[in-house]
C-alpha cells in the first residue's frame, strides 16, 4: 500500500523500512506523508506493541532529505516543509509505544533526525551519523537542533551542528547518541531481542514510562515529579500491577494482560 515504505508485522512487532535505496532512502515529501500514515495505523493497532524502523539495503538508514525538493523552496514553503516533518517525527516520538531505530548505514540530516525521534537507537558498526545542513546553507528542520542537544548535551551537539561533519557509530555511542553498536549481521536480531525484552513488561507501565519521560523533559523537575506520581498512582489501579507484584512475591514470571 506504500510507494516508499515497506511495512510488516510479526509477533506484535511492526517493521517500517524506508524503501528508496536508489536515493539512499532520502526522505522526500511523499515518504514523510507515508510515515505519517503508517504510524497513525500503528498507534491505533492493539496488535502492535513495539516498532523497528530501518532503511532498505546495507548502505543507508536514511541519508537525508531530498535535496532536489528543497532547493527551490521559498521562505514560507521552507517553514511549512519543516513543520510537516516535525509533526511526523513528534508523532513517532510520542507514539506511546517503543520505537527502535535499526541504523544500518548513513543516518544524515533527516535520517539522523528520524533516528533521534525513535525511543532507542541501535547502530551497525558501519553506521555514520551527522547533521550536515550548514554545508547546504540551511539548518536542521525536523527537530535536529532540539533533540540532538537533549541527547548528547549542548557542547557536543553544537560541534556536530556547526561543523556539519559525520561521526562513526563508535563515536556516536561514546557521546550518547546511540544505545548500542553491533555487527551489521546482528542488527536485526539485536533489535528484535530488545523489543521482546520490552514487551515482556507490563504494557501500561511501558506506556506510562514513555509519557513520564517525554512530558517531564519539557517541564520543570517539580512538574515532572508531579506527573510521575500521578502516573504511578494510575499504575496502582491496573490488573497488571496486581499481577506483577503477586508474581514477584510468588517467585514466578508475571502474565501481563495490558489491563
- Which positions are annotated as active-site residues? 113, 133
By 3-state DSSP, what share of the chain in percent is helix, strand and coil, each rounded to 5? 55, 15, 30
**Cell numbers at residue 152, please?**
548528547
Q: Which three cell numbers stand for residue 58?
A: 546495507
Q: How far apart are CA 82 and CA 70, in angstroms?
A: 10
How far is it, in rounded angstroms, from Cα 163 to Cα 70? 21
Q: Residue 171 belongs to what H/E stretch?
A: helix 169-175
Instruction: Return all residues near 139 (Cβ < 8 A) that are at least 6 apart.
Output: 133, 145, 161
Residue identified by cell 521482546 is: 196
CB 5 within 8 A of CB 35: yes
Judge whether 172 and 123 are in contact, CB under 8 Å.
yes
Supply the angle between the helices 239-249 and 203-217 in degrees, to the nearest 10: 110
Cα 177 to Cα 193: distance, rounded to the nearest angstrom: 20
CB 63 within 8 A of CB 117: no
Amino acid at each position: 500500500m506504500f510507494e516508499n515504505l515497506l511495512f510488516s508485522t510479526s509477533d506484535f512487532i511492526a517493521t517500517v523500512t524506508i524503501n528508496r535505496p536508489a536515493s539512499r532512502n532520502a526522505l522526500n515529501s511523499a515518504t514523510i506523508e507515508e510515515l505519517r500514515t503508517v504510524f497513525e495505523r500503528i498507534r491505533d493497532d492493539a496488535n502492535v506493541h513495539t516498532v523497528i524502523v530501518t532503511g532498505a539495503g546495507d548502505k543507508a538508514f536514511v541519508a537525508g532529505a531530498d535535496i532536489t525538493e528543497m532547493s527551490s523552496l521559498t521562505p514560507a514553503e521552507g517553514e511549512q516543509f519543516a513543520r510537516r516533518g516535525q509533526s511526523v517525527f513528534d508523532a513517532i516520538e510520542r507514539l506511546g509505544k517503543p520505537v527502535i531505530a535499526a541504523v544500518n548505514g548513513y543516518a544524515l540530516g533527516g535520517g539522523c533526525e528520524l533516528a533521534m525521534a525513535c525511543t532507542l537507537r541501535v547502530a551497525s558498526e558501519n553506521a555514520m551519523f551527522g547533521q550536515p545542513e550548514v554545508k547546504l546553507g540551511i539548518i536542521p528542520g525536523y527537530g535536529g537542533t532540539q533533540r540532538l542537544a537533549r541527547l548528547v548535551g549542548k557542547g557536543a551537539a553544537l560541534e556536530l551542528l556547526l561543523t556539519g561533519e559525520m561521526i562513526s557509530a563508535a563515536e556516536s555511542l561514546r557521546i550518547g547518541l546511540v544505545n548500542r553498536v553491533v555487527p551489521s549481521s546482528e542488527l536485526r536480531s539485536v533489535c528484535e531481542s530488545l523489543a521482546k525484552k520490552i514487551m515482556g513488561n507490563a504494557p501500561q507501565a511501558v506506556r506510562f514510562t514513555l509519557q513520564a519521560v517525554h512530558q517531564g523533559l519539557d517541564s520543570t523537575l517539580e512538574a515532572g515529579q508531579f506527573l510521575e506520581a500521578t502516573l504511578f498512582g494510575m499504575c496502582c489501579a491496573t490488573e497488571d500491577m496486581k499481577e506483577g507484584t503477586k508474581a514477584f512475591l510468588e517467585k514466578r514470571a508475571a502474565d501481563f494482560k495490558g489491563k
